[in-house]
Amino acid sequence: MRLTFAAAGLAAVLTFGVAGCGGDDASGTPATGSSSAGVTGTVTVFAAASLTESFTTLGKTFESEHPGSTVKFNFAGSSALATQINQGAPADVFASAAPKNMTVVTDAGNATGTPTTFVKNQLVIAVAKGNPKGIAALSDLTRSDLKVALCAEEVPCGAAAKTAIEAAGLTVTPVTLEQDVKAALSKVKLGEVDAALVYRTDAKAAATDVDAVEFPESAKAINEYPIVALKNATNAAGAQAFIDLVTSVDGLKVLEEAGFQAP
């Protein structure tokens, strides 16, 4: 279950969706699918909304590899998650869609060790199926007849969009600014906007409902995704085991199949 946080609700009460898992051992040795003993209990993972599909898959793998374990996810905008962690929300792992939001957590002393970059992601233009408005380039988003959704600038997808738009020397006036990439994408799926700048992975996950238009300026705004165990983790062994899975060969395979790029 994915959670959506309003802009004013960054420290809102959290409701977690249970997903499955995949394996590493409690000592932190990367696994490629073999079961290991010693990791049980709940592992609470705060992760960027764009990781919803791939992390849910990895969660199921983790649980099958570690009997007695449960993974609970809180998926939202990275900036909201960073704020919640720094305000004391209980979590074992943080996976951000950009280093900037990870730095908010590490600078506050709420991480254990050094974050690891595990994937990269790139923007595309999400349009309605069949691309009825004939959107072919980033410059088309300046057209007065189009309604465009962007993520808010404090969210990684919004910061990346701003970078790409500025690199192209364009001015895009959105009709809405969303707090995570899934919310921006939903505007296209619902027909409320004609286009949105979203991650390639999110457009791929919603391929039955939207088409993705690639644009060269997105190469100027590739996001790196870091992951780290948190200082106040109640399941430190489980946190490390989950991180080991994400960064393992098996984990990277799942993430690349979702459209992420190797770090």
Residue 262 is assigned to a structural domain of this protein? no
Say whether both 84 and 209 belong to one domain. Answer: no
* Span between the terminal Cα atoms of the chain, in Å: 27
User: Tell me, what's the pLDDT at 67?
Assistant: 96
216 and 139 belong to one structural domain: yes
Say if 209 falls within a structural domain. Answer: yes
> What's the domain count of the chain?
2
Q: What is the pLDDT of residue 170?
A: 97
> Is 164 in the same domain as 231?
no
Q: Averaged over 109-130, what is the pLDDT?
A: 97
256 has a pLDDT exceeding 70: yes
Both 24 and 68 in one domain: the answer is yes
Its pTM stands at: 0.83
State the pLDDT at residue 38. Answer: 81
Whether residues 69 and 96 fall in one domain: yes
Q: What pLDDT does 37 receive?
A: 56
Please write the tens of the pLDDT for every residue from 18-38.
344 443 443 333 444 433 458
Based on the domain organization, do 112 and 11 belong to the same domain?
yes
Q: Based on the domain organization, do 171 and 131 belong to the same domain? A: yes
pLDDT tens readout for residues 152-176: 999 999 999 999 999 999 999 999 9
- Residue 175 belongs to a domain: yes
Contacts of 143 (CB under 8 A, 6+ apart): none
Q: What is the mean pLDDT of residues 53-81?
A: 97
Question: Which of 213, 215, 184, 219 minimizes the C-alpha distance to 198?
Answer: 184
d(CA 260, CA 263): 9
| Domain assignment present for 172 | yes
Residue 157: closest CA among 191, 187, 116:
187
Are residues 231 and 212 part of one domain? no
The range of the structural domain enclosing residue 177 comes to: 123-220
Across the strands, what pairs with 251?
none
Reply yes or no on whether the pLDDT at 183 is more than 50.
yes
Instruction: State percent of the chain over pLDDT 70.
Output: 86
Confidence tier at 16 by pLDDT (50, 70, 90): very low
pLDDT of residue 45: 98
Using alpha carbons, list the distances in angstroms from residue 136 to 39, 145, 167.
49, 15, 17
| CATH code for the domain of 155 | 3.40.190.10
* Residue in 33, 95, 37 with CA at minimum distance from that of residue 250: 33
Amino acid at 56: T
Asked if residue 112 and residue 74 are part of one domain, the reply reads yes
User: Is residue 12 scored above 80 in pLDDT?
Assistant: no
Residue at 150 is within a domain: yes
